[in-house]
Chains A and B, each alone.
Chain A
Amino acid sequence: MGNKNNETGGASKRTMKKALLYAAVIVFCVIVISPLVIVFSSSLRTPGNQTSPLNLFIEFSGASYAQAFSNMNYPMELLNSIMTTAGSVLCIVIFSTMAAYPIGRIKSKTAKFLYYFFISGLIIPSQMVIVPIAQTLNRLGIPNTRFTPMIMFITCSLPFSVFLFSGFMKGVPVEIEESAYMDGATLPRRFSTVVFPLLQPAIVSCVITQGLWIWNDYFYPMVFISKKAQYSLPVGMLQFLGDKENPAQWNVLFAACVLCALPLILVFLALQKQFVNGIAAGAVKG
């Protein structure tokens, strides 16, 4: 290990190290991804095929998918998921950028208080307050429709989104706004044409992190939706709960799992860069 060996051993040592590094990363990735591979391989079997799922890709059939597709009423649930997620995220972006505007810009105790006030909401889990929330909705005469879970998604997302945008707002130079002010732009105009466009990276981040969560959440839709026609994908998955330890049902169950995650997987693969940057921007700059 002395200096003498440096000349001769250095290169091969470096290659060794590199190979080891690759091996480690590959093994690690295989471990992480293997349950998903098995799930995918099983989902391609016919529902009756009960050989061990570890025999990968021994059969290629759409039968399990067809069954899961109709059991879930997939097109409808997909549409509901898209509507709920898109609607909620849109409102979240508008409301929280607006809220972050004064919080991020005004330097006063009130603004600081509001900042922490919103953030404190991060800590409260929804299971805890679900009954009082239901009562509140009742008192306000808000019926259980597909919009009710959206109200809750918007509300629950505010702490994080306001935190994200007000952090980001500080990085948006005030000079641009001041010159807009000199040009006689009104406050709403200044916000919508000057500030809002500059928040774009944070908006991407918000859409991705919050969209991911809303798409995957089953709690609020389960609790607030009674009509099957309004079910979102994760709620539809609940009907398979009894199948999770029943090997006879695995192929269909796994096909349903893939179908449930498929839209997100496609979006992720298509917009990978935005995803990665969005997640990072949210945390690093926030």
Chain B
Amino acid sequence: MAKTSKKGVKNYTSPVFTRRMYYFLIPALAFFLIFWIYPVLQLFYYSVTDFNGINYDFDFVGMKNYARVLSNGTLTNSMKNTLIYAVMTVCISNIIGLAVAMILNTKIKMKGLFRTCAYFPALFSAIVVGFIWSYVYMPGAGMIANLITMVGGDGAAFNPLGNYKTALFAIAMVEIWKGFGTTMIIYLAGLQTVDESLLEAASIDGCTQWQQIKWVKLPLISSTITINVILSVISGLKAFDYSFIMTNGGPGKSTKTLMFQVYETAFTDQKMGRASAFSVLAFAFIILITVLMLLYMNKKEVEL
């Protein structure tokens, strides 16, 4: 055996796993540093300048960009929209994903077919999904509007993307439609690791099915829940595609997410400096939420 440190952890002084192994990092690290970290650092630099995205003759402006972003209301509006969007996508896609996975995990026939159906939307590109749902939501001639008319309702009044109350919810539904299949598959895999004998034991002890789920299944797949929730939190907070393809941030500013606002500040307003400051704050916000979620979920995992 290799030499172990006091804590019993293998140290890098092990003759098998030497420091020379770090050479293997070179290609990945080179790409990551040059094409990701360096541009991100540049972003930090731009955030204290008045760079407009095209003219490289720019000046240092101190914390002005940050002050502006914090004071002009764009940050709060887009943060609010992003949070609502993220909470919606995280909750709904995890609840549906978990429920469907549980049903499919029982001795049900045609399991494969159902699973395929649920996962199918995940195969489509965001841009294609945007096209399809533009049709589904379209007032008048769209799919849902037509269905409503067919059953005798007022299809013309159905206009989810044109309504302030529903637009954000409508694009979140698109994200859920595309994403829940992946969530479901991950849950299904997690559920399959649950030992049947434990469930039998619980059943013999007189647990109802609901109690079995609550006290046996959920605790056993808690790490799966964590991973699913964190993955959907990250993608929810990075929401951009459907605001961009389907609503362009509207009506008004009701579907402007953090990323959409960054994009608009940088490209429409030509305030690359301010957009950078915005990005830095958004970045901090996303990290904060993710870390808090991770801590909370880990605590839950231990409790369960």
Contact = CB atoms under 8 A, between A and B. Distances in A.
B283 to A, nearest CB: 6
B79 to A, nearest CB: 15
B132 A132 contact: no
Contacts of A105: 17, 21
Contacts of A111: 12
A259 B213 CA distance: 42
Given A95-B27, A108-B12, A237-B127, A28 B35 contact: no
Contacts of A94: 27
A90 interface: no
A36 B31 contact: no
A226 interface: no
A94 B27 CA distance: 9
A73 interface: no
A284 B186 CA distance: 7
Contacts of B115: 276
A121 B188 CA distance: 28
A99 interface: yes
Contacts of B132: 35-36, 39, 254, 257
A261 B124 CA distance: 6
Contacts of A79: none
Interface in A101-124: 101-103, 105-108, 110-111, 114, 118, 120-124
Given A107-B10, A268-B123, A283 B186 contact: yes
Interface stretch (B62-70, B86-94, B195-203, B259-267): B259-267
A224 to B, nearest CB: 12
B215 interface: no
A204 to B, nearest CB: 13
Chain B interface residue bracket vs A: 35 or more
B40 A129 contact: yes
A244 interface: yes
Contact of B21 (A25, A106, A286): A106
A154 B147 CA distance: 44
Contacts of A276: 115, 119, 185, 188-189
A16 interface: no
Given A122-B234, A280-B188, A178 B16 contact: yes
Given A129-B39, A234-B127, A283-B186, A38 B143 contact: yes
Interface in A151-176: 151-152, 154-156, 158, 162, 174
B133 to A, nearest CB: 7
Contacts of A261: 123-125, 128
Interface string B264-288: 0010000010010001001100110
Contacts of B186: 279-280, 283-284
A271 B283 CA distance: 37
Nearest to B30: A95
B294 to A, nearest CB: 11
Contact of B143 (A35, A124, A264, A277): A35
A58 interface: no
A105 B10 CA distance: 9
A110 B35 CA distance: 22
B35 A22 contact: no
A127 B240 contact: yes
Contacts of B120: 32-33, 36, 265
Contact of A174 (B16, B37, B103, B147): B16
Contacts of A212: 122-123
A127 B123 CA distance: 22
A29 B10 CA distance: 50
Contacts of B287: 120, 123
B121 A32 contact: yes
A232 B159 CA distance: 33
Q: Which of A102, A137, A272 has the most CB of B within 10 A?
A: A102
A180 B77 CA distance: 59
Contacts of B19: 106
Contact of B147 (A36, A54, A108): A54
Given A28-B118, A265-B123, 12 more contacts: A32-B121, A36-B121, A36-B132, A122-B234, A131-B266, A132-B43, A133-B35, A244-B135, A245-B138, A269-B116, A275-B119, A279-B189
9 tightest Cβ-Cβ pairs between the two chains A and B: A280-B189, A99-B28, A132-B39, A216-B125, A102-B21, A132-B42, A29-B117, A244-B134, A98-B24
6 contacts: A36-B121, A102-B17, A178-B1, A237-B131, A283-B224, A286-B227
